[in-house]
Amino acid sequence: MIKQIIKKQALLFIRNPMQIVLLIGLPIILIFILGNALGGTMDGSSSPINAKIAIIEHQSETKQIQQLLDETNGEPINEHTAIGMTPIQAFTSLLQHESLEEIITVEQIPLEQKQNALQDESYTAIIEVPPSFTYDLLSHSLLEKDEAPVLRIYENEQQPIATSIVSDLVDNFQHQLTLQAFLKQQSIDQQALAVESSIFNATKKTINQTNTISASAYYTVGMTVMNVLYIASTIGAVAFMEKRMYVFNRIIIGDISRWVFFTGVLFSGILFSFLQIMIIFTFSWTVLDVSWPNISDMLLVSLAFSVAVGGITVLLTAVSYRLHSETITNVFSNIIVVLMSFVGGSFFPFGNYSSLVHALGTITPNGAGMTAYLSILKGESFMDVSTHIIYLVLFGLTMTVIAATSFPKRGQSI
C-alpha cells in the first residue's frame, strides 16, 4: 500500500506541470540568476567598487626629463636611470595594473577639460599634475634641489570608499617613490631588495587549504536545500486535501492502518526530496559544471537531508490533521522556509558575518545540509560531514516521532 501511496503522489506531481516548474525549474533559474549576479562577489573576480580616475598633466613628463638631462649633462642622472624615474607614468601604470582593472578605470584628459571633469560626478578622483612636476620631483629627490612638488587630488565625497582606495594608492606610491630615491642616493641596488616572484606558486585555496567554491556551486547547494523544503509543504498540502476530501477516511474505512498512510507520506517526502536533489544536481553538473569530488558522500548527505525533509512532511501533515487546518503548511511554505533559508545561508553566507546567524543556521536542516554539501565541495573528509549527516537523520527521526504522537489516533478523525 505504501508503494501505491508513493505512486499516487508521483502521478499527482506529473499531472501538475506548474508544481514541477516550481520545484525543479525555479531553483534552476535561481541558481542561474544568483550564480551570475553574485558570482564575482563570491569568488573575488569582480568588485562592487568602481573608481574612475582622471589624470590631467600640465606638461609632458618626457620633456621634463629631457630638460633635466640637458641641464645636468648626465650627472648624477644619466639617460638610463632617468627612464626608470618617470613618476607619473609609473603611477598611471600602477593604476592600470591588471589586478586593479576591476576596480579602477584611468582616463588621461587634457587640461582644457578640467572644469568639465570637476563637474562630472562619475569621477572618483581627479589627479592634477602641475607644470614641471616630474622635473621638480627628480631635482628634489636626486639632486636635493628645490622644494618637493605637490600633486593636487580632487576627491569625490560621494564615493568615500573608492576615494579612500585612491588615496591609499597615492600614499603607497609616494612611499615607494621616496624609498626608491633613497636607495638611489645610497647606491643600493633595488633588485637586491626584490623578492623573486617565482617562489610563490600556489593555487587558489581558502585559508583552510581547501578548494574554493564557485558561485554556481554555492547556489546549486543553497537553492537546492531551500527548494527541497517545499516538497514537505507540497506533500503536506496534498495529505491535508486527502483529509478534507474524505480520501483519508476512505482509506481508514478500507481497513488500512493510519500508520500505513503516515509511512506512505513519510516515504513520499523522503523519496521525492531525494529525486529533486538529484535532478537539480545533475542539471548543475551537466550545464554549470558543478561536480562533486566525492559522489558517495554527496549521496549520503542527500539521503540524510531527504530523511529530514520527510520528517518535516509528516510533521506538517500531522499538525494540519490535528488542527483541521492547512494554515501550518501555508505558514511553513510562505514564511518558515524563507527564514530557514536566510539563516541557513541559501541566499548569502550570512553566517560568515554573524556567529548568531551561523549558530541558528546550523540547527536548521537546510543549513546543516548546506554545510555538509559545501564541505564535500571543498574536498573535506567524510569525518567532516558525518556530524551533519547524523544530525540530519536525527532531526528527521525527531520530527517523525513528534508527528506520530500528534497524528490523530483511531476514532478521532471525522
Partner 1 sequence: MLELVDLSKKFHQTYAVKNMNMFIERGEVIGLLGPNGAGKSTAISMMSSLITPTTGDVRYLHKSILKSPSPLRKVTGIVPQEIALYDDLTAEENLAFFGRIYQLKGKALKRRIADVLDVIGLTQRSKDLVKEYSGGMKRRLNIGVALLHEPELLIMDEPTVGIDPQSRTHILETVQRLNTEKNMTVIYTSHYMEEVEFLCNRIYIMDQGQLIAAGSKEELKQILSSEKIISIQVTNVKETFTHALSEHPLVNNIKMKGKEIKITVDKKANLFPILIHMTEEASIELLSIHVETPTLEDVFLHLTGRALRD
- Residues in 216-255 that interact with partner 1 by CB under 8 A: 244-247, 249-255
DSSP state of 140: H
**Whether 41 contacts 34, CB under 8 Å:** no
Rounded to the nearest whole angstrom, what is the least distance from the CB of residue 4 to partner 1 in the complex?
4
With b meaning 16 or more CB within 10 Å and e meaning fewer, what string describes 306-341? bbbbbbbbbbbbbbbbeeeebebbeebbeebbeebb
Q: Which stretch binds partner 1 (CB under 8 A): 6-14, 137-145, 293-301, 397-405?
A: 6-14
Size of the site for partner 1 (CB under 8 A): 25
CA atoms within 13 A on the CB side of 113: 13
Alpha helical stretches, state H, 96-159: 114-119, 133-143
- Work out which of 256, 279, 393, 402 binds partner 1, going by CB under 8 A: 256
> Does residue 11 touch partner 1 according to CB under 8 A?
yes
| SS3 letters across 153-165 | EEECCCCHHHHHH
Closest CA to 368 of 389, 397, 338: 389
- How many Å apart are CA 386 and CA 388, to the nearest integer? 5
By C-beta, is 193 or 414 nearer to partner 1?
A: 414
By C-beta, is 253 or 383 nearer to partner 1?
A: 253
DSSP state of 199: G
Rounded to the nearest whole angstrom, what is the least distance from the CB of residue 410 to partner 1 in the complex?
7
Residues recorded for the chain: 414
By C-beta, is 320 or 341 nearer to partner 1?
A: 320
By C-beta, is 153 or 252 nearer to partner 1?
A: 252
C-alpha cell of residue 103? 576596480
- How many Å apart are CA 270 and CA 62, to the nearest integer? 74
Rounded to the nearest whole angstrom, what is the least distance from the CB of residue 202 to partner 1 in the complex?
56
Rounded to the nearest whole angstrom, what is the least distance from the CB of residue 9 to partner 1 in the complex?
10
By C-beta, is 8 or 114 nearer to partner 1?
A: 8
Rounded to the nearest whole angstrom, what is the least distance from the CB of residue 11 to partner 1 in the complex?
6
- How many Å apart are CA 43 and CA 218, to the nearest integer? 10
- How many Å apart are CA 93 and CA 106, to the nearest integer? 9
DSSP state of 189: -
Alpha helical stretches, state H, 188-257: 190-193, 215-244, 247-253
By C-beta, is 258 or 358 nearer to partner 1?
A: 258
> Does residue 258 touch partner 1 according to CB under 8 A?
no
188: region left, alpha or beta (phi > 0 left; psi from -120 to 50 alpha): beta
- Work out which of 15, 80, 97, 204 binds partner 1, going by CB under 8 A: 15
348: region left, alpha or beta (phi > 0 left; psi from -120 to 50 alpha): beta
Local structure of 250: helix, strand or coil:
helix
Rounded to the nearest whole angstrom, what is the least distance from the CB of residue 13 to partner 1 in the complex?
9
> Does residue 16 touch partner 1 according to CB under 8 A?
yes
By C-beta, is 48 or 254 nearer to partner 1?
A: 254
Rounded to the nearest whole angstrom, what is the least distance from the CB of residue 263 to partner 1 in the complex?
14
Rounded to the nearest whole angstrom, what is the least distance from the CB of residue 281 to partner 1 in the complex?
28
By C-beta, is 248 or 274 nearer to partner 1?
A: 248
- Work out which of 4, 36, 45, 296 binds partner 1, going by CB under 8 A: 4
Q: Which stretch binds partner 1 (CB under 8 A): 3-11, 85-93, 303-311, 319-327?
A: 3-11
> Does residue 6 touch partner 1 according to CB under 8 A?
no
> Does residue 8 touch partner 1 according to CB under 8 A?
yes
Strands 125-129 and 152-155: antiparallel
Rounded to the nearest whole angstrom, what is the least distance from the CB of residue 2 to partner 1 in the complex?
10
Draw the binding track, 392-411, toward partner 1 (x: CB under 8 A; -: no contact): ------------------xx
- Residues in 302-341 that interact with partner 1 by CB under 8 A: none
Rounded to the nearest whole angstrom, what is the least distance from the CB of residue 251 to partner 1 in the complex?
6
Residues that bind partner 1 (CB under 8 A): 1, 4, 7-8, 11-12, 15-16, 244-247, 249-256, 410-414
